[in-house]
Amino acid sequence: MLEMFENHRTDGERIPFNDLAIQWEEIAEDARRDIDQVFARSAFSSGPYVEAFEREVADYLQCRHAVGVNSGTSALHLAVLAASIGAGDEVLVPSHTFIATLWGTIYAGATPVLTDVDEATGTIDIADAQRRLSARTKAIIAVHLYGQPANMDAVLDFARRRNLVVIEDASQAIGACWNRKPVGAFGLIGCFSFYPGKNLGAAGEAGLVVTNDPLIDKRLRSLRNHGQRERYLHDEVGFNYRMDGVQAAVLNRKLARLPAWTARRKQLAQRYRAKLSELPLVLPTVHHHDHVWHLFVVRTLRRDGLRKHLARADIETGLHYPVPLHRQPCLQHLNSDSRSFPCADLWASEGLSLPLFYGMKDEQIDRVIEVVRGFLAPA
């Protein structure tokens, strides 16, 4: 994942996978002033900048409580803990996602139960989740993959019938809407990552947990800060998962621009969809809700060849993710039969992420389109 934005200045003909410097140029003047203030006020850890960001982002996400933390991985850990899920409990998790989706479940001592994904969208397949239920199933983690909400009607209905806690991993989908409402607060707890390459990225590591439940909010705030309700009084085993003031200052400046940045991502995706539609290529399936295009992932049996062809033309691509969770060496104890995830395997072997980032120029995307066409439909 690091190579996502290392050394990614756009120069000459090279088309990078991402170019975060374009975002920085837009906010630099304002952000520098705020960062100066963070230093002047020594608001390094938690403090007024984190609180200001929490208010702004809660407003943006239309949820009651937003708790800033130090990464998306920490957010997912706290979500599982705050839902009181632990040893002996099972949590349904899609096999096709970034592995951090399930770390929190494992850290909390619970057992992830991998499920297959929907062939069209790559998000959790509820019919398959149903087959993997047991008396110990306590929660389901829905991942809003690539920027598109999982089918929340199906997830919420299933969870209601089975009395499961719903946790959303919205790391890739800040601002994406389901039924015109931003993802994150549909379930009990929602998690976000502000890893620099995400649609809203910090200047380092950061994350967020959101909820509408005041008791869960209290528990999250305590857990991220050593389990203390008041200073030096520790109710339970806690963690140091606080957010940095500098990150909050940068995030707040970027959040103000996020709607415009997301609109450009949608334009770029639209351009890919229109101009690649004639090719022998599976384009992303978009349901009638909303998609914020963290990634633009196409599918083809000739994935590896296409990737090499693009690399030869100096166009960088990505794989998200080439090894599904049921094939990860560290998770082999979870599933006895790795053949039962056909769609997760399909996405892993055929998916290719084309460059799509805020600041990408029309000429750049058109060249990607031309080079893809040159490989799949040579004149």
Q: Confirm or reject binding of residue 249 to ligand PLP (CB under 6 A).
A: no
Q: Confirm or reject binding of residue 151 to ligand PLP (CB under 6 A).
A: no
From candidates 97, 123, 148, 212, binder to ligand PLP by CB under 6 A = 97
To which H or E segment does residue 374 belong?
A: helix 362-376
Which parts of 34-53 interact with ligand PLP (CB under 6 A)?
none
Alpha-carbon distances of 214 from 3, 38, 210, rounded to whole Å: 39, 29, 11
Distance in angstroms (rounded) separating the CA atoms of residues 111 and 104:
10
Q: From 98-106, 146-154, 243-251, 260-268, give the range in contact with ligand PLP by CB under 6 A.
A: 98-106
Distance in angstroms (rounded) separating the CA atoms of residues 235 and 230:
9
Q: How far is the CB of 5 from ligand PLP (least distance, A)?
A: 13
Q: Confirm or reject binding of residue 207 to ligand PLP (CB under 6 A).
A: yes
Q: Confirm or reject binding of residue 173 to ligand PLP (CB under 6 A).
A: no
Which of 222, 184, 191 lies closest to 209, judged by CA?
Answer: 191
Which of 160, 191, 152, 187 lies closest to 173, judged by CA?
Answer: 191
From candidates 23, 73, 111, 199, binder to ligand PLP by CB under 6 A = 73
Task: Specify whether the CB–CB gap between 325 and 95 falls below 8 A.
Answer: yes
Q: How far is the CB of 101 from ligand PLP (least distance, A)?
A: 5
Task: Specify whether the CB–CB gap between 159 and 166 falls below 8 A.
Answer: yes
Q: How far is the CB of 98 from ligand PLP (least distance, A)?
A: 4
Which of 213, 170, 218 lies closest to 193, judged by CA?
Answer: 170
Chain residue at closest Cβ approach to ligand PLP:
72
Q: Confirm or reject binding of residue 112 to ligand PLP (CB under 6 A).
A: no
Residue type, 223: L
Q: From 40-48, 66-74, 295-303, 322-330, give the range in contact with ligand PLP by CB under 6 A.
A: 66-74
Which parts of 152-171 interact with ligand PLP (CB under 6 A)?
169, 171
Q: What residues make contact with ligand PLP under the rule CB under 6 A?
A: 71-73, 97-98, 100-101, 143, 169, 171-172, 193, 195, 207
